[in-house]
Amino acid sequence: MVTLSSEAMLWLTIDAMLLTAFGILLLRFLKKLRGRKRVKRKNLPRIRITSRFEESLRSHGGRQAIAETLPMLLEAVASRSDLSTLRSSTSKELLLAITKQNLPENAKKVLDEMYRLYEPTRFWNHSPDPKETSSFGRGLQAIEELLNKVEG
């Protein structure tokens, strides 16, 4: 049988206590890290682009409202989808990247219809009629509600 001196017993006891304390601190740290990830996903700000669209519509008209709003919407959707897009990506490139994601088919269809209104308005100096502007606004509301419902 092995006998240990009192000094060796003291050091073994201290080592055991330190190892236990280290284990407890490590477990707390890991729980905190896991908790932070959950909080970040839950606390994403709600998308409120419809109000910007309506404000721009009142002050500048349908053409500028559509031209300003769709890029903001696409960037918001891309950031929510964790897409790694370049700052210099065009709206069409963002739309193509977004439609490859797991979005509902109706959301993809609405985004595509909105882009069909955006392109002539932005690049061909087309002034949308009130029907087109309200269609764009309804699509914007639908996408905004869908994203806020998924995240909320």
How confident is residue 41, by pLDDT bands cut at 50, 70 and 90? very low
Burial 56-66 (b: 16+ CB within 10 A, else e): bbeeeebbebb
pLDDT of 39 reads: 41
Would you list the domain boundaries of the chain?
1-43, 49-151
- Supply the angle between the helices 62-80 and 130-151 in degrees, to the nearest 10: 20
pLDDT of residue 152 exceeding 70: no
Mean pLDDT (whole number) for 143-151: 72
Q: Quick one: what percent of the chain has pLDDT higher than 70?
A: 83
* Mean pLDDT for all residues in the chain: 78
**pTM for this predicted structure:** 0.58
Instruction: Please give the backbone phi and psi of residue 9, each rounded to the nearest 5 degrees, phi first.
Output: -60, -40
| CA gap 127, 73 in Å, rounded | 20
Residue pointed to by tokens 């073994």 = 12
pLDDT of 34 reads: 77
pLDDT of 82 reads: 64
Q: Quick one: what percent of the chain has pLDDT higher than 90?
A: 12
| CA gap 18, 53 in Å, rounded | 60
Best CA proximity match to 44, nearest among 73, 69, 81? 81
pLDDT of residue 13 exceeding 90: yes
